[in-house]
Amino acid sequence: MLVIRHDEVRDILRGAEQAVLELVRDTYREHDAGETVVPHSTFLRFPGESANRIIGLPAFVGGEQPIAGIKWVASFPGNLGRGLPRASATIVLNSMETGRPLALMEGAQISAARTAAATAVAAQTLAGPDPVRSISMIGCGLINFEVLRFLPGLSALTLFDVSRARAEAFGARARQALPALDVRIAATSAEAVAAAGVLSLATTAIEPHMTLDGARPGAVVLHISLRDLTPETVLAARNVVDDVDHVLRERTSVHLAELATGDRAFVHATLGGLLRGTTTLPGGGSSIIFSPFGLGALDLALARYVLEQALARNSGLAVEAFQQPV
Ligand SMILES: NC(=O)c1ccc[n+]([C@@H]2O[C@H](COP(=O)([O-])OP(=O)(O)OC[C@H]3O[C@@H](n4cnc5c(N)ncnc54)[C@H](O)[C@@H]3O)[C@@H](O)[C@H]2O)c1
């Protein structure tokens, strides 16, 4: 079994944005074509507190080199105060010949990259063929920063965070990474909503705290954190998801909208369906909200790429005696 460390995963993913975007696009298409198996994620929560959780995402991805495995991802928001990232993750890949584990790898960077690439694919698909030039980001953490890497055409960025200090630190890093970028800090989320036609929401809010009042006509809202928008806002928009059964769970904003109305008719399309042309979105000037639950199949497709690259570069630590020898 190959153990692949944080720095090795980082080196493999650095500069691989195009390959990651292609993998993510292909995996959404495969998911729509029924070539993946993605059981419901298992949420482990702890007595007497609601902030921390660990989620298990098992998955199978078919195709020429089928793979199975699981991402085990912990979210401990208090880590930010310890100078650590909120999320940490481990991915196990299993052989489809023997079921035996092939690799154990650091998964937080894979998870962040697939989330950001999925956001960029959704932005390109929903906001039209031209590169996104202007975006507002609500929630100035690791995921939104990763999204910047996958939107190379950006020229204007508006930021809002409940912590002004985090918005300013994010803005300073963004200016350093992309010196031509015009970066502004908004005083309220409403100001950020009005500032651009594409919005990326990646907060740690667990209850709805905002609407899209004042949004530009046909605004594209990338609702990565899933629980920011009120159910009324969801119901007034055109809704695109990654997987209907997955995202209408766990008190996401779209789940709350389903609980309020008793049906799912407000979900108009899946991203995979739009990419394959098996579904279309209704026209009109209402906002388009993309709510991705986050498919384990994306993590595994990307982890398979990391394993292939690690083998080709001779990186990773081969642990020979991990299991019974053949
Ligand atoms: N859908 C998916 O596939 C997927 C994948 C990965 C992460 N996520 C979600 O993305 C979110 C962001 O992850 P991260 O790693 O960037 O977290 P992070 O902790 O690094 O950053 C979150 C930021 O949101 C800010 N924030 C909290 N509440 C806010 C509010 N009401 N308004 C504005 N800002 C607020 C915090 O101050 C913090 O700066 C998390 O909720 C995570 O669960 C979703």
Give 48-63 pLDDT, tens digit per residue.
Answer: 988 999 999 999 999 8
Whether residue 325 is contained in a domain is answered as no
Q: Report the distance separating Cα 195 and Cα 188, nearest Å.
A: 11
CA-nearest residue, atom 9 of ligand 1 = 225
Ligand 1 contact, 143 CB (< 6 A):
yes
Domain membership of residue 245 (yes or no) is yes
CATH number at residue 34: 3.30.1780.10
Same domain, 206 and 310: no
Domain limits at 257?
128-291
**Total domains in the fold of the chain:** 2
User: How many CB atoms are located within 10 Å of the residue 208 CB?
Assistant: 18
pLDDT in tens, 180-223: 999 999 999 999 999 999 999 999 999 999 999 999 999 999 99
- In this structure, the answer to whether residues 142 and 286 fall within a common structural domain is yes
In this structure, what CATH number is given to the domain that contains residue 244?
Answer: 3.40.50.720
On whether both 287 and 300 belong to a single domain, the answer is no
If asked whether residues 147 and 209 sit together in one domain, one would say yes
Amino acid 182: pLDDT: 98
Reply yes or no on whether the pLDDT at 326 is more than 80.
no
Question: How far is it, in rounded angstroms, from Cα 235 to Cα 250?
Answer: 18
Amino acid at 128: G
Could you give the angle at the alpha carbon of 123 between the alpha carbons of 74 and 127, nearest 5°? 155
Residue nearest to atom 29 of ligand 1 (CA): 203
Q: What is the pLDDT of residues 24-82, one digit of tens each?
A: 999 999 999 999 999 999 999 999 988 999 999 999 999 899 999 999 999 999 999 99
For residue range 138-172, list pLDDT tens digits in order: 999 999 999 999 999 999 999 999 999 999 999 99
- 64 and 174 both lie in a single domain: no
Determine if the pTM surpasses 0.95.
Answer: yes
Is 172 inside a domain boundary? yes
**Helix 296-313 × helix 17-32 angle, to 10°:** 140
Residue 325 has what pLDDT? 84
Q: 132 with 234, same domain?
A: yes
Residue 77 Cβ contacting ligand 1 at under 6 Å: yes
Instruction: Verify whether ligand 1 is closer than 6 Å to residue 142 (CB atom).
Output: yes
